[in-house]
Structure 1
Amino acid sequence: MYKYIITLLMLCCPILPVLADEVKLQPHHPDRYVVVKGDTLWGIAGRFLKDPWQWPQVWKMNREQIKNPHLIYPGDVVMLDMSSGSPQLRLLRETVANPEVTLTPGIRTEQLDVEAIPTISPRIIAPFLSQPLIIENDGLKDAPRIIAGPENRVVLSPGSRIYVDKIDEGEGTLWNIYRTGKTYIDPETKAVLGTEAIYLGDARISKYGEPASGDIVSAKEEIFANDKLVAAPESLQTNFVPQAPEDDVQGRILSIYGGVAEAGRNTIIAISKGSDDGLEQGHVLAINRNGRVIKNPGYDKKNKKGSENIKLPNERIGLAMVFRTFDKISYALIMQATEPVNVLDVVEKP
């Protein structure tokens, strides 16, 4: 026989100064919400909060908890507590246990097929967690190179045997295949931010040495001799907390993925700021449209008094969440958009 045990998890750590902004609730927010499979942390936050990046504030999360957040599972109940005079969230956690077993509050027993809810949709961002790749100039110069494929075959496809100039034993079995792509230039400073390596597919190495050999196991684009190999990452962080950056940051949208001229919600963008600028996974940025410059109708042309032109203020048109960072470039997912988002639109701390 089984019984249900409810444990109340309360996070009582000091709040960060950066999270001290006033929390605004949704007009018709629920008092409690039961988490279901398919939910995302951003979606749940948006049910309660006008600004979902204030999630750490209503949980009273400190810096360490933001970096290593508590996991939330289907069946958990998120409750809004106003007893202190300011919004706070609590988690009612329901676990199934043998009645003879005593559980310490906060400890959870899990079935293996129950997964914590992700921050944002893994279906959209999964390919960008491991590829494409931003590299420094000549970053692929010394990477292992495909030197040949099957006899008389120019285009290499899944199932093709490949030969690589050198891969030593212990360097890994699964490798991503790349080709040098476009170079990103900072639109403000004109400095080179990095080069994008175009992800082509995956290969599995079966024999090490000079040369090594293996097989192509998947291909997104045509693969040729001279394409480069990079060891596939063993694990990637997918659990992070939506939050505003601690420091002011301002950059531009460098590119929009998916072959479209304009972007909307659930579109991936590359932006001109990265970890060197303080950006981290989970940081939420406002997307602003640069204000137009117009002729000043009150300009005294005869006496040249006043400003001839007036720049209108920037207008917020959306929000984006950073989910992968490099030194000078980051990938972000557009979470909200009231107008089409374009390359060179401004991203900054909301």
Structure 2
Amino acid sequence: MKKLRIPARSRPTLLATLAAFTVLGIGTTASAQNFPITPQQRAIAQQTAQNGIPLSELVATAPDEYTVKPGDTLWAISRLYLKSPWRWPELWGMNLGEIANPHRIYPGQVLYLDKTGGRARLTTRRGTGMPDGTIKLSPRTRYESLSGMALPTLNPSLIEPFLAEPIVVDEDTLKVAPRIVAGNDDRVLLARGDRAYARGETGSPVVEVPGPIKQFRIFRNATPLKDPATGEILGYEAQYLGRATLQRGESTVTQLTDGKEVTNVVPATIDIVAAREEMRAGDRLLSEPPRPMQSYVPRAPTQQVVDGRIVSVYGNAVQFAAQNQVVAINKGLRDGIESGQVLAILKNGAVIVDKTNDAKETLKLPNERIGLLMVFRPFDKVSYALVLEISDTPKAGDLLVNP
């Protein structure tokens, strides 16, 4: 069999597909696998396909061989190999020659780590390079597993609820939203399966519109989110209670009462189709927005310096954040924050009095890095982020910087 010599700089490098991932607010796994690749991702990949990753970027315990298992996530696999796991476009780039779509990696695939030439390459098959630089080509079968088996980057259930449930609004949004006025059969507390009645504010009745049945999300309260550094009110976090569908819009009815015609408003009829907490009269309705496909490419921020803080931990009366928990941060779209950006969490060192000498000086303990988080839903002045990993317990007021 004749050997085919391929210049080293143009060989396919076949590295594992770990660049990007897609979390859907709604939709199928198949559509997630076909999510387009951005020009920036492809440009990074093409550059890395030629160069590989410096060995210094690998963790010391990076395995030479790893078999992808059900339940794995791309973030977890990236952490096996990279000190900076958000540098996935580069890791995908090393596999550019074999897998065209970086959103696909499946259980059962075996990853092999090649560390020749001072560069790291993660391949999906064992290397067959010859000592003289010749590559031996052999016939092989290409196949794809079912799309539903493709690994997510993170467990989608960690993020999906937050694509629709919590919402940051301005001060007046909930005040002018339609409200529940009564439950069926004089019910005071409403749960899934109950019928209720709602009314819009003056001049904005709840009406039926052509097309699919109108969906509402139901909220209560609007807790201010205050910047720990400046005291600015960044927005109001509405408490998500559940969802409802509109069955009949508002109308009016005219009746004769004591010989006089009296016109009364007939409130809209809604059915509660999902409930996180019990609902009651006075709770507010906001139209269900469309859930667009969300593409997250974990990466460091483009800004040279990010100086942010954790505003709050999502949940009732929760002070400290755990791994895989959601927090609000004081940076948003106006600050250039985008979905997928990864930030390091610094524990804000305490200010103490030095009691070891007579001067009783005031000291500021150093800030310590205690974890990473990833932004997944930015608003104008505030964003929601998922805590990816921690070595201590983050809390409101902790600092956020470039990773």
Q: Per the shorter chain, which TM-score range?
A: 0.7 to 0.9
Aligned to 2:311: 254
Matches within 5 A, 1:245-284: 245-247=301-303, 248-258=305-315, 259-284=317-342
Equivalent residue for 1:335, pick from 355, 374, 388:
388
CA displacement, residues 253-279 of structure 1 (integer Å, 9 cap, x when unaligned): 111234443223222211111222222
RMSD, aligned CA:
3.4
Measure the CA separation in 2 of the matches of 1:75 and 1:346.
40
1:140, CA displacement in angstroms? 2.4
Contact 1:204 1:215 in 2 (8 A): yes
Q: What fraction of aligned residue pairs are identical, expressed as a percent?
A: 44
SS of 1:74 mapped into structure 2: coil
**1:223 positional shift:** 0.9
Q: Give the C-alpha shift of residue 48 in structure 1.
A: 0.8
Residue aligning to 1:244: 300
CA distance in 1, matches of 2:323, 2:172: 34
The answer to whether the Cα contact below 8 Å between 2:177 and 2:286 also exists between their aligned partners in 1 is yes
Equivalent residue, structure 2, for 1:159: 193
Select which of 184, 193, 199 maps to 2:240: 199
Mapped contact 1:58–1:87 kept (Cα < 8 A): no
**Mapped contact 1:69–1:240 kept (Cα < 8 A):** no
Q: Which letter maps to 1:167?
A: V
Q: How many residues end up aligned between the 2 structures?
A: 316
The corresponding residue for 1:111 is 146
Residue 46 of structure 1: how far off its partner (Å): 0.7
CA contact (8 A) 1:40 1:118 kept: yes
- Aligned equivalent of 1:231: 287
For the 8 Å contact 2:326–2:386, the answer to whether it is kept is: yes
The verdict on how the C-alpha distance between 1:136 and 1:84 changes in structure 2, with shifts beyond 3 A counting, is: farther
Superposed CA deviations along residues 229-274 of structure 1, whole A, max 9, x for unmatched, are: 2233443545523221111212111112344432232222111112
Question: Cα offset for 1:8?
Answer: 5.2
Instruction: Report the TM-score when normalising by structure 1.
Output: 0.77
Tell me how far apart the structure 1 counterparts of residues 105 and 290 of structure 2 sit (CA, whole Å).
24
- The one of 75, 92, 100 equivalent to 1:59 is 92
Alignment partner of 2:107 out of 54, 68, 74: 74
Point out the more displaced range, 207-216 or 68-77. Answer: 68-77
Per the alignment, do residues 338 and 188 of structure 1 end up closer, same or farther by CA in structure 2, a change over 3 Å counting?
same
Taking the aligned partners of 1:89 and 1:215, their CA distance within structure 2 comes to 53
In the alignment, which residue of structure 1 is the partner of 2:159?
A: 125
Distance (Å, rounded) in 1 between the aligned partners of 2:181 and 2:234: 30
Residues 323/139 of structure 1: CA separation in 2 closer, same or farther (3 Å cut):
same
Question: In the aligned structure 1, how far is the partner of 2:56 from the partner of 2:269?
Answer: 57
Whether the aligned pair in 2 keeps the contact of 1:287 and 1:345 (CA below 8 Å) is yes
Letter in 1 for 2:380: D
Evaluate the alpha carbon distance shift between residue 207 and residue 290 of structure 1 in structure 2; reply closer, same or farther with a 3 A threshold: same
1:344 positional shift: 0.7
Question: What is the identity, as a one-letter code, of the residue corresponding to 1:203?
Answer: A
User: Are the structure 2 counterparts of residues 298 and 261 from structure 1 closer, same or farther at C-alpha, using a change threshold of 3 Å?
Assistant: closer
- Please tell me the residue identity of whatever aligns with 1:191: E
Distance in 2 (alpha carbons) for counterparts of 1:246 and 1:299: 45
Write 1 or 2 for the structure with the bigger share of helix: 2
Q: CA deviation at 1:72?
A: 2.8
1:39 to 56, 65, 72: 72
Cα contact 2:188–2:280 (8 A) shared by 1: yes
Query: Following the alignment from structure 2 to structure 1, what is the Cα–Cα distance between the partners of residues 351 and 54?
Result: 32
Aligned residue for 2:159, secondary structure, equals: helix
Aligned partner of residue 146 in structure 1, secondary structure: strand
Give how far 1:108 is off.
6.9
- Post-superposition shift, 1:348? 1.5
Decide whether the 8 Å contact of 1:294 with 1:310 is kept in 2.
Answer: yes
Asked whether the equivalents of residues 193 and 272 of structure 1 are also in contact (C-alpha less than 8 Å), the reply is: yes
Instruction: Look up the match of 1:65.
Output: none
8 Å Cα contact 1:167/1:208 also seen in 2: yes
Go from structure 1 to structure 2 and tell me whether the alpha carbon gap of 1:216 and 1:108 turns closer, same or farther (over 3 Å shift).
farther
Residue type at the aligned position of 2:307: Q
The equivalent of 2:217 in structure 1 is 176
CA positional deviation for 1:161:
1.3
Deviation at 1:44, TM superposition (A): 1.0
Q: Aligned to 2:186, what secondary structure does the other structure show?
A: coil
